[in-house]
Structure 1
Amino acid sequence: MSTEYGPLAVWGVVVALGLATFGIRASFIHLFGRVDDVPDRATNALRFVPPAVFAALVAPAFVAPEGAIAVVGNERLLAGVVAAGVTWYLDDVFATIVAGMATLWLLRFGI
């Protein structure tokens, strides 16, 4: 894929974004290193960061595996729903993986 930007401009953007990302992360480390007690509102809000990031990474693979939203005929979505149901009732990681993969294999290969 060719662009009208030269390599210096592209590398400049990469370095600038890397420095910005590093600065944001370093500011939180610096901030929480200086604050003795983290406010309860911040602690409660930070509890939801890992599940939100995980959902943002996983949901597109379930809902749009080919790049477009597909609900009908989407075996990954159905396997994910089955795995979510198993995890809701059993709260067991191994059982969730087994149920999700078994459902996916049954739908995909018709075993």
Structure 2
Amino acid sequence: MTAFLISGITAAHPELVGEAYEDADGLRYLPLLGVPVLIFEADAATLGTARTKALQRDLSLAVYTREMFATGHDAANRAAVRAVRAEHLDLVGIGLHGPKTPLDKIIKGARLHR
């Protein structure tokens, strides 16, 4: 789930991706995110509140719902989200990108994942 969420943030913000890697033999490797990624955990209510606050502040937001665990491909994931009204999404994860101060307020109640 974390990989799916961060892929959404990366797709929306390609400037977050660093340069490609190269070893001493000249072999090239894919670039990685050039910024830290912090992973927090929270209950469903906190995730829902954070989603609402992020949308109100026009911050980049990716969602992962419980229904997406049962799908087998990207189109089915999008259909699973589209089938549910925003306030009824059964969120199990969200991905956010934005300035630190607003993000701290948005994720209030969440704690660093252990």
Structure number having the greater helix percentage: 1
Give the TM-score normalised by the residue count of structure 1: 0.28
| Bigger Cα Rg | 1
Whose RCO is larger (CA < 8 A, sep 6+)? 2
Structure number having the greater strand percentage: 2
